[in-house]
Chain A
Amino acid sequence: MPLSYPAGTLAEHKACRNNVAVFDVSHLRRIYLKGASDFLQWRLTNNVKMLEPMRAHYTHMLFEDGSVLDDLICICLSPNEHLLIVNAGNYEAVLEDLKVRMKEFQSGKFLEVGQKRGTGAKLKTIELETDSDRQNVFLAVQGPKTSELLSEVFSKELLKSKQLVKKNHAQTFSYRGEEILMLGTGYTGEAGVECVVPEGVAKEFLSDLVSAGASLAGLSARDILRLEAGYPLYGNELGVGITPLQAQLGWVVDFEKGDFLGREALQKELEVKPSQLLFGFKIENDRRPIRNGDEIFFEDKLVGRVTSGNYSPTLSCAIALGFLNTGFLKTAGGSFEASALGQEVEIRGRQNRKAMICSPTGFLRK
């Protein structure tokens, strides 16, 4: 995936917000697991058992200290098969972890540290395959006109169903004799789908999308789109030393479901206030981008740092995501999260500028 195509980052961004953009996101790796639902329930933070067949959700894989090894999409393909879509940079680590932890799990070792498994649970054999075994690519088709565009490409099938794949649903469509798995997921804040496409028909599918009016878009546009939507990027807003709670993603953690790896650390963090929290920052009427690594000051004290920043074409101003130390604001009875919103901080990069604290997912809200 290039940073941008000849149209340029801003044109690609606009195509996604107003029409349809297609991103080749094959660098996100696909891992298929059979017989793994008990294991995944323990290894991932969200509740895998609540996923009906052909449903997807966002979830985290944690280290024992509660920080994030990977953020990923988990899809239940059938009661016995799950598909994980993981970050390129974490693929080797995730694969290795799954193999090691599967053995641990199957040996029952995790029972020593975790909650007891119900009696009578059978140890199933877990089978693992990857996209190299399945030979497929992954394309994201995103934008408000995605539904119409796909109807053109699939004419018969989609026109009959009159419905784009719903958010967090999965559906298969036949295309030139092959099967495309379409997920109602994305990383842009727009309606759209992400498609697992067999290699044999990938070129034709991509060219059909482009012929129907989709614009090819690159990594730079994707990064601005996800920043505007407030989605975390692994390595910036998530990673070693950062927990889901700190990233204000507590909703991906199901504490009710029983034991999972990293639970103990997260529960401790729930009892005390997290040491840092992710927020959004906005400098209205100023186009100069905020940059990763800029420092955040409050009353001349260093209180945080920017993890992702840029110019928002949608808002025509500078925006950023960054962590604030939770010690510096008086909570005045309310939560730190709530009391920080609307406060002014100073972002110091090449210039010092006043910025307003907002919700990390608040940039696109009307």
Chain B
Amino acid sequence: MNTPEDLSYTKDHEWVRDAGAGIYRVGITDYAQDALGDVVFVEIKPTGTEVVVGDAFGEAESTKSVSDLYSPISGTIKSVNEKLAEQPELVNSDPYGEGWMCEIELGKDSPKEELLTASQYSELIS
């Protein structure tokens, strides 16, 4: 499984990329997309929605099951990957790139929760 070194992870198999200026890009890991199977539908809550760490910010459905997407941080959804509406398969083919889900602006008083490093996450899924 591919687990890039420069990202942070959750035990729920989301990844987080620090995009600077308090914005964090979020997606699901290679391990998660593989377990989910071919993704055919993704729904993310609209821009402006406030999310709390551990709450669902959306859903991904594959040919075999449906999975909630859990927010790795607390804050406000600033943008959503619109491409996924027509091309949800990007989640499978490029989970850390084109298959990203949304960008969240970290809430002012919400510290980044205890995210996992790449090596900690690798250990979790091994």
Q: Which residues of A contact B (CB under 8 A)?
A: 3-4, 8-10, 220, 224, 287-289, 291, 310-311, 313, 350
Q: Which residue of A lies closest to B43 (CB)?
A: A288
Q: With A288-B43, A350-B66 in contact, is A8–B37 under 8 Å at CB?
A: yes
| Inter-chain contact A287/B88, CB cutoff 8 Å | yes
> In the assembled complex, which residues on chain A have CB atoms less than 8 Å from the CB atom of B66?
289, 291, 350
B31 to chain A, nearest CB (A): 15
B119 CB to closest chain A CB, in angstroms? 26
Instruction: Assess whether B64 is interfacial by the CB under 8 Å rule.
Output: yes
Q: Are A311's CB and B43's CB within 8 A?
A: no
Contact A3 B37, beta carbon cutoff 8 Å: yes
A selection of 18 A-B contacts at a CB cut-off of 8 Å is: A3-B37, A3-B64, A4-B37, A8-B37, A8-B38, A8-B92, A9-B37, A9-B63, A10-B38, A10-B40, A287-B40, A288-B41, A289-B40, A289-B63, A311-B40, A311-B61, A350-B59, A350-B66
User: Is B30 positioned at the interface, with any CB of A under 8 Å from its CB?
Assistant: no
The digit string for B46-69, where 1 denotes a CB below 8 A from any CB of A, is: 000000000000010101101000
Query: Which chain B residue lies CB-closest to A287?
Result: B41
Shortest distance in angstroms between B36's beta carbon and chain A's nearest beta carbon? Answer: 11
Q: Is B103 an interface residue (CB 8 A)?
A: no
Chain B: CB-nearest residue to A310: B63
Complex CA distance for A313 and B37, rounded to whole angstroms: 14
Add 10 more A-B contacts to A8-B38, A10-B89, A220-B64 (CB < 8 A): A8-B37, A9-B37, A10-B38, A10-B40, A220-B37, A224-B63, A287-B40, A288-B43, A289-B40, A291-B66
- Whether B41 and A10, one on each chain, are in contact in the complex, defined by CB atoms closer than 8 angstroms, is no
Question: Interface residues of B toward A: which range?
Answer: 10 to 19
How far does the alpha carbon of A224 sit from the alpha carbon of B66 in the complex, in Å? 16
Does the CB pair A10–B63 fall under 8 Å? yes
Minimum CB–CB distance for A319 against chain B, Å: 12
**A220 contact set on B, CB distance < 8 A:** 37, 63-64
**Smallest CB–CB gap between A131 and chain B, Å?**
29
In the bound complex, residues from chain B placing their C-beta under 8 Å from that of A9 are 37-38, 63-64
Q: What is the bound-complex CA distance between A350 and B41, given in angstroms?
A: 14
CB contacts (< 8 Å) of B41 on chain A: these are 287-289, 311
CA distance A10 to B89 in the complex (A): 9
CB distance from A15 to the nearest CB of B (A): 13
Q: Which residues of A contact B89 (CB under 8 A)?
A: 10
**How far, in whole Å, are A220 and B37 apart by their CA atoms in the complex?**
10
Q: Within 8 Å CB of B61, what residues of A? A: 288-289, 311
What 3 A-B pairs have minimum CB-CB distances, sorted nearest first? A311-B40, A288-B41, A10-B38
Cα distance A224–B62 when bound, in Å? 12
* CB proximity of B57 to chain A, nearest CB, Å: 16
Query: Separation in Å of the A142 CB from the closest CB of chain B?
Result: 18
Q: Closest B-chain residue to A221, C-beta based?
A: B63
| C-alpha spacing A9/B66, complex, angstroms | 15
B123 to chain A minimum Cβ distance, whole angstroms, is: 24
A311 CB contacts on chain B under 8 angstroms: 40-41, 61, 63
Residues in B5-43 with C-beta less than 8 Å from chain A: 37-38, 40-41, 43
For the complex, give the distance between the alpha carbons of A310 and B88 in Å. 15
Cβ–Cβ < 8 Å partners of B37 in chain A: 3-4, 8-9, 220
B84, chain A: closest CB distance, angstroms: 10
A224: chain B residues at CB < 8 Å are: 63
